């Protein structure tokens, strides 16, 4: 195996010479990440596949509701050069649709189906992508979108255990329930960055 530092440089040169890359990031000596335009993804993936990145490791999406965009992530791997490449592109959130990469990587079939199920991104070219895979009879917006609140859904649909106080408070003492509520409030404050 050649020096792996040169491998990331090789990848960067290979991609940047042929495509307009919005941002490049060398994360460590085994991983490079590119952000490209939506139109370039297919040709870039084909180029990488012919250059030895024959394994599709992962395909998924990230929701950015503030930018009103979805980010699609493709991760491919070359076992001889030992470099993972992340390819990311942004889609419009309202009309999220991306041509399937099924002709390039047949392994993407179920990843795309899952991305459709959890984010609602359409993949024209993948015949089954609109069928449900993991959820069954889902009746809400796709659950991995940021504006979906699982706790509200759970409270609405699944009845919770009801607890009742079976102890008596003595006068002047802080009840355990109050102390617990206060502790949870403190934790919430810490989470949001406030002072104790």
Partner 1 sequence: MLSTKFSPMSKEEVDRKWWEIGDFFRRNSLWMLMYCTGCCAIELPPAMTSAYDMERLGMGPMATPRQADVLLVTGYLSLKTLRRLIYTYEQMSEPKYIVGFGSCTINGGIYHDSHAVINQLNKYIPVDVFVAGCMPNTEAVMNGFVDLMDLIKNKKANGWKDYHERYEWYLANQKAALGEVRVHDEFHE
Partner 2 sequence: MKEMKLFLGPQHPGMHGNASVHIYVDGDIIKKSFLLPGMLHRGFEKGMERHSWVNNISLIPRVCVVEPDTNEMAFAMAVEMLAKLEVPERAHWIRMIILELARLSIHLMAYGGLGSPTGLYTMMYHAHTDRNTILNIFEKITGHRVYHQYIVPGGVRKDLPVGIEKDIHSFLDDLESRYEEYRDLGINNPTIQARINDTIPLPAEVVWELGVTGIGMRSAVNKPYDLRKVKPYARYDQVEFDVPVAPYSDAYARVDCKLQEVVQSIGIIRQCLAKMPEGDVRVPISRGQAMRWTVPKGHVYACVESSRGEFGYFMVSDGGTNPYRVGVRGASYPQGLLGIEKYLPGTRLDDAALWVDTMGVCSPEIDR
What is the binding site for partner 1 (CB under 8 A)?
128, 131-132, 135-137, 139-140, 143, 148, 150-151, 153-154, 157-161
Binds 159: which of partner 2, partner 1, none (CB < 5-8 Å by kind): partner 1
**Toward partner 2, which CB reaches closer, 175 or 180?**
180
132/169 with CB nearer partner 2 = 132
Positive/negative CA dihedral, 27, 37, 119, 149: positive
The torsion angles phi and psi of 71, rounded to 5 degrees, stand at -115, 120
- Taking only Cα atoms into account, the Rg of the chain, rounded to an integer number of angstroms, comes to 24
Interacting partner of 157 out of partner 1, partner 2, none (Cβ under 5 to 8 A depending on kind)? partner 1
Q: How far is the CB of 112 from partner 1 (least distance, A)?
A: 15
Instruction: State the minimum distance, in angstroms, from the CB of residue 144 to partner 1.
Output: 10
CA angle 177, 183, 188 (to 5 degrees): 125
- The torsion region of residue 10 among left (phi > 0), alpha (psi -120 to 50) and beta comes to alpha
- Partner whose binding site includes residue 160, from partner 2, partner 1, none (CB under 5 to 8 Å by kind): partner 1
- Encode burial over 162-192: b for 16+ CB neighbours within 10 A, e otherwise: eeeeeeeeeeeeeeeeeeeeeeeeeeeeeee
Binding interface with partner 2 (CB under 8 A) = 4, 25, 27-28, 30-31, 33, 54-58, 60, 62-63, 73, 75, 77, 79, 82, 84, 86, 88, 105-107, 109-111, 118, 133-136, 143-144, 148, 150-151, 187, 190-193
Within 10 angstroms of residue 59's Cβ, the number of other Cβ atoms is 22
Rounded distance, CA 92 to CA 40, Å? 16
Partner whose footprint covers residue 131, from partner 2, partner 1, none (CB < 5 to 8 Å by kind): partner 1
Report the residue number, 5 or 134, with the smaller CB distance to partner 1: 134
The least distance separating partner 1 from the CB of residue 114, rounded to whole angstroms, comes to 14
Write down the least CB distance from residue 173 to partner 2, Å: 27
Q: Are 90 and 113 in contact (CB under 8 A)?
A: no
């Amino acid at each position: 195996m050649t020096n792996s530092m040169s491998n990331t440089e090789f990848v960067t040169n290979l991609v940047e010479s042929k495509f307009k890359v919005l941002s490049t990031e060398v994360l460590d000596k085994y991983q490079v990440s590119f952000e490209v335009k939506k139109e370039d993804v297919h040709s870039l993936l084909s180029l990488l596949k012919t250059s030895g990145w024959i394994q599709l490791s992962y395909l998924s999406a990230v929701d950015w509701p503030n930018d009103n965009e979805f980010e699609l992530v493709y991760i491919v791997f070359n076992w001889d050069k030992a470099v993972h490449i992340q390819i990311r592109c942004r889609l419009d959130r309202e009309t999220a649709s991306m041509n399937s990469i099924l002709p390039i990587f047949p392994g993407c079939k179920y990843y795309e189906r899952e991305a459709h199920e959890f984010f609602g991104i359409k993949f024209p070219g993948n015949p089954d992508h609109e069928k449900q895979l993991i959820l069954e009879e889902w009746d809400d917006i796709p659950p991995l979108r940021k504006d979906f609140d699982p706790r509200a859904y759970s409270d609405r649909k699944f009845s919770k255990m009801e607890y009742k106080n079976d102890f008596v408070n003595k006068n002047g003492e802080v009840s355990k329930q109050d102390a617990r509520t206060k502790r949870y409030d403190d934790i919430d404050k810490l989470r949001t960055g406030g002072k104790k």
